[in-house]
Amino acid sequence: MSNSQYETDETYETDETYEWYGKYGEYGQYGQYGASSPGPGPGPDPTPAQWSEASAYGGFDVHSARTLAAYGVYAAPSEYQDTYRPAYEVSEAATLPRQAGRVAGADAPTLADAPAFGERVVTDRRSPRRRKARYAERADSRVRRLLPRALVVVFLAGGTTAFVAKDKAVELSVDDKPRTLHTFADDVTELLAEEGVAVGAHDMVVPAPGTALAGGDQVVVRHGRPVRLTLDGQRREVWTTANTVEEALEQMGVRVEGAHLSTSRSRRIGREGLALYVRTERAVTIMADGRARTVRTNAATVREAVDQAGVTLDGQDTTSVPPGSFPRDGQTVTVLRITDSKEVQEKPIPFEVRRTDDASLYKGTEVVERPGRPGLRRVTYALRTVNGVRQKPRREKSEVVREPRDELVKVGTKPRPPSVRDVDHLNWKGLAACESGGRPNAVDPSGTYGGLYQFDTRTWHSLGGSGRPQDASAAEQTFRAKKLYLRRGASPWPHCGARLRG
């Protein structure tokens, strides 16, 4: 055994109690134990004659450690170097019978005072003062030896307490994948760093980074994902921490009831994101054939919405907004029933008059050498009727069918004769034959011109005539014709004036 069983010397502080048993005289003939001197207690030194034979003990050498250890005694310091010996170290000694013995002297201890088998007996022949000093020195030595050990134990106990106090169990959920772990992190930021979870500006961390951690806390991390969203024809890029398409639309406040999605609502969104096309349900009013129809639709175009309203577009029919445009919520679309047709018009092209001087004609006289002829232009127009109302024609094509021909006119430069007698030599009969066939009472089919020279009533009156020219005599008609020639030359007779010269 170790010496720790005997580290408290207070048990043997007053050795006087056990002084009489230091000799062990009662266990045999004292003389066989060597030159042991009597203890300091009362009574004479016993002699060998006073003790029984020691042969009963098998001739044990009482100086050996085995014999002394068998009785659990504390060996003399000078002999056994202050070493405690455990009881029953020598097993065969435990079977020795206890012998009755005596000690000379009136104050000698009796057998009842002897220690029982296995009890510890201390023998110390030093004075009480020296023994107390020795015990005090041993106590100080043990305190000095035990103090560092005690401090180590206290330090380890305190460190273990602090170690256990800083360890905490928390739940970390990353993208809806929870796990429970033990950590010494003081806050959320340290925990994420320990677990290698990187977060960015588009990620969600609850509680916020830097928040202190305690046992039982839950930390949720959701990474941001880019979504290239086309919502009702409008394109934009948004970030979401949702794991599915349906969750992302809920985060963005998009009403999915009745909406058309380009992918399944339950589709998971990876860290790389996805492209998503969404058309929400809208109310659109279709006006067609005098009737209004309101439909709820997620159509991509106005034409689809019109079809869903049960309206058919035929031929040139169209809508008030482009059929391929995106229908807006609350929009009213009017169906236009269109009828197209064509119209062809022919328009004359005016001819030009080209005049040349002629010295053989009196001044103021113009003779048409070649009458002009107008040209002809053909123009095609597109006509459109919208809901029964004719629109402004639109010219589609224009072509020249016939080119115009210029009119050639000769202009006289010869001075005029002073009286009608100066023009008597002109061929008036030839002019009358050309104009009226030589008949004084001739009238043109329109009733406008009459007589030999086909006067109109206004001109006839300006020349001094009265009534109708066809009612006057042939001589008067010729006289009035000569006066007209003096004023205007042959121009009043553009087609027959040339007859006057021959």
CA proximity to 169, closest of 184, 188, 159, 151:
184
Residue 18: alpha-carbon gap to chain centroid: 95
146, containing H or E segment: helix 128-166
67, containing H or E segment: helix 65-70
Residue 272 has pLDDT above 60, yes or no: yes
Over residues 184-216, the pLDDT tens digits come to 999 999 999 999 999 988 898 999 999 999 999
Over residues 110-139, the pLDDT tens digits come to 444 444 444 444 444 455 566 556 656 665
As a whole number of angstroms, the distance between CA 395 and CA 377 comes to 13
pLDDT of residue 386: 93
pLDDT of residue 160: 47
pLDDT of residue 451: 95
Give all domains of the chain, ordered by start, each with its CATH number: 3-125 (no CATH), 168-222 (3.10.20), 225-279 (3.10.20.30), 282-336 (3.10.20.90), 341-407 (2.20.230.10), 416-501 (1.10.530.10)
In 155-290, beta strands by DSSP E? 168-174, 177-183, 204-206, 218-222, 225-231, 234-240, 260-261, 274-279, 282-288
Answer for the pair 372, 406: CB distance below 8 angstroms, yes or no.
yes
Query: Which of residues 88 and 454 earns the better pLDDT score?
Result: 454
Can you give the pTM of this predicted structure?
Answer: 0.40
Answer for the pair 53, 59: CB distance below 8 angstroms, yes or no.
no
Over residues 333-387, the pLDDT tens digits come to 999 999 999 999 999 999 999 999 988 776 777 788 899 999 999 999 999 999 9
pLDDT of residue 146: 61
Amino acid at 166: K
Over residues 412-459, the pLDDT tens digits come to 887 766 677 778 888 999 999 999 999 999 999 999 999 999 999 999
**Three-state secondary-structure class, residue 469:** helix
Over residues 469-484, the pLDDT tens digits come to 999 999 999 999 998 8
Task: Specify the pairing of strand 394-402 against strand 204-206.
Answer: unpaired
pLDDT band at 171 (very low <50, low <70, confident <90, very high): very high
Beta bridge partners, 286, equal: 293, 333
